[in-house]
Structure 1
């Protein structure tokens, strides 16, 4: 009995009442001893009830989450089965796709259960590098599955005030279940770095594709602009805006389909030193009056852009070519800024260079803010009236911008006539990249891994969560 009471006392609160009761017990007061034992048992019962309630809540939440995940898994399979039934796909291909889905689901569940660390991965080829860290292709040692590992320096994120941006990106990737968005499998950290384990898309990015092809046909552009619309729509539905969408952040899977991501590791262009009057028309970067800029033909401008494109993309300063004017002016902005970026990317796809391109990033900023003066369509590009109209309705004032009332406004534009939006990701892509195996990185820029001073990606595009 004494040993049992001693064990039970471990669960009892140590307060003055119990201390006094214990003293009386030691004095040999039998009646009080019985009373104190009753109090002890009551206190024990209360503490035990609290622990049982906490355990019950934990178990209920755990199984509720398990049931939710199971239901979502069933729904994803049902959706795929329905899409396959509606599509002209052979029974063998249907079975292969369903097996592939099951494999990915199992892989995802295993990663969720296991507490991962960098030691669980074999680090392979670097495909992105910048001030915040790097992105590498990696292989999970146990399963052999291939991923992209984003490794971010905590010290740099703190110094540059990017912690909230990275958290928002991680939360978005974990929250949004969309085939338009790169998938996040897990995240973990050590004393110096934060790691994001994401799906690896070996098709490269839109920047590389545009550098290889120069200009897309309107049919090709329609396909990729359409998939970008769906990607932007999917993040907007979760109350996120990207703020800096550009070709660098539009990744291609091995089949050529597009997914929105952010492999950016450097800071965005810093326009904080510019005052509002610095954006006035006719001033060059030194503040002196600039009467006119040398006029180039479309071909000359394209060649000039090709020479400078890679340097600008990987500079530590960054390129503002796709940033909306309201973002540059820092007067507050909403989801509409992403539709401006879409317009700038579409222009580059069809013309060969961004609409406000200049040798100097600050001059580009001024052109963007004064877009009414600088937005021109070269005759040599021979854009259709529908393409011109869509671009013009994206590169305009916020209150007039197409998409301000939702993505359906853009989907209904005549440029997209005939597009079956719900089947876009089931179609054959406009461009199928060359991918030899799951570790192939030929569609990405090569990086000098021995160079500790990064000269690479300024791809920032921080995900930003709206309040």
Structure 2
């Protein structure tokens, strides 16, 4: 949804900018040979996706010709009210702490203007795990591969005292080599390093379909909440069905969250017949989806040692030396004659250094802190002659991506838990 306040600033396909050749040079600019980052550093190629308060663009950095994903987050709502910046600061802080890992979405640059916050991250053209599940026929070895890499990503996040709190297939991306990368840390919880003994939090946040019983109940929870989501994803990849009933009432019904929470807290996932659901897989799913957080399998080392993963060499998984089940085939848009309309970017004015209300938000990440995989991805893009690539989904066993009633209901139900809670609290009360 386009912000009404932002629309008033539209003057071109790119963005307006106040320039002054006389303005003083800030300390950040004095230290950086490239100056303070801003939208002028990028060429906008196309829109990758849009949400309620943010839009993600594919951009090319003018200085290096590298491709990135630029996330523009509105500072104002549609009615002109200022939006809290906590999720943006949260994501920036989490990604900064986690930079350098191949399994975490790399953050490159941050900056903001009078209307938006901007986060520039690595561009991963292979889509996400949800798209992969819909498009490809996966065997048990493929499921084992993706879940093993996801487990190491979760382990890395937890080692930095962070709970992701929204692990789901839509937030698990596929890089150019076919390996997974975990992203979207907007609602992650970062524990205070000065209080090492307190490792629990509260908050009904996340996506209900992947939220643990304690999250849905509003109780205290810790790192085990992420491993519940891991169990739900494992179940869905093995069976192709939802772990818990979601269609007892329509997904847009205000009582949907209450009904769904009861299913999660009271019902056991039905172990449907599937050639992928082996005895070892079934045992792991059951132990991961135990209702009580104290009884749940929440030790990552124990999960690694489970028989389902017994055939894996975890050293090879960590080094990403295993061959992925599917490697995206990048296609040059110039070769296939595809042209994208340059997106309209709604942006504000750049702050003068003395007027910036959040001067510490803008920075560039040191290239040395990024992983080797980042350089490999940029090399893959360079081989396409600088074109914004497309990905071919026709290679290998594919399934028809038909949209049925279940898919429609699922998309409706994949709303953030905080939105469901707000709707439930604000809905009219009916008295008998």
**Which TM-score band applies after superposition, normalised by the shorter structure?**
0.5 to 0.7
What residue in structure 1 maps to residue 327 of structure 2?
432
The number of equivalent residue pairs is 291
Give 1:421 shift.
Answer: 1.5
Give 1:401 shift.
Answer: 1.5
Deviation string 1:388-419 (CA, Å, 9 cap, x unpaired) is 1111111112111212xx42121111100021
Contact 2:215 2:221 in 1 (8 A): yes
The 1:442–1:458 alpha-carbon spacing in structure 2 relative to 1, beyond 3 Å, is farther
What residue in structure 2 maps to residue 202 of structure 1?
125
Alignment TM-score, normalising by the size of structure 2? 0.61
Q: Does 1:414 align with 2:307?
A: yes
Q: Choose which of 211, 217, 223 in structure 2 pairs with 1:335.
A: 223
Identify unmatched segments of 5+ residues in structure 2: 1-26, 188-204, 333-380, 382-387, 394-400, 402-410, 419-432
Instruction: Give the alignment's Cα RMSD to 1 decimal.
Output: 3.3
Give 1:222 shift.
Answer: 0.4
What residue in structure 2 maps to residue 127 of structure 1?
48
Moved over 6 A (4+): 157-161, 455-459
What residue in structure 1 maps to residue 149 of structure 2?
227
Give 1:375 shift.
Answer: 1.3
Distance across 2 between alignment mates of 1:458 and 1:367: 12
Distance across 1 between alignment mates of 2:63 and 2:281: 49
Contact 2:331 2:390 in 1 (8 A): no
What residue in structure 1 maps to residue 106 of structure 2?
183
Deviation string 1:15-69 (CA, Å, 9 cap, x unpaired) is xxxxxxxxxxxxxxxxxxxxxxxxxxxxxxxxxxxxxxxxxxxx9xxxxxx9xxx
The 1:391–1:212 alpha-carbon spacing in structure 2 relative to 1, beyond 3 Å, is same
Contact 1:248 1:459 in 2 (8 A): no
SS at match of 1:350: helix
Q: Does 1:236 align with 2:158?
A: yes
The 1:159–1:239 alpha-carbon spacing in structure 2 relative to 1, beyond 3 Å, is farther
Per residue, is there more helix in 1 or in 2?
1
Q: Choose which of 116, 131, 149 in structure 2 pairs with 1:193.
A: 116
Deviation string 1:155-192 (CA, Å, 9 cap, x unpaired) is 24996965322212111111112111010011000001
The 1:366–1:457 alpha-carbon spacing in structure 2 relative to 1, beyond 3 Å, is closer
Contact 2:41 2:61 in 1 (8 A): yes
The 1:457–1:340 alpha-carbon spacing in structure 2 relative to 1, beyond 3 Å, is closer
Distance across 2 between alignment mates of 1:170 and 1:244: 16
Give 1:461 shift.
Answer: 9.4
Equivalent residues in 2 for 1:22-61, closer than 5 Å = none
SS at match of 1:228: helix
Alignment TM-score, normalising by the size of structure 1? 0.57
Identify unmatched segments of 5+ residues in structure 1: 1-58, 60-65, 67-108, 266-316, 446-454, 463-467
Equivalent residues in 2 for 1:258-297, closer than 5 Å = 258-262=180-184
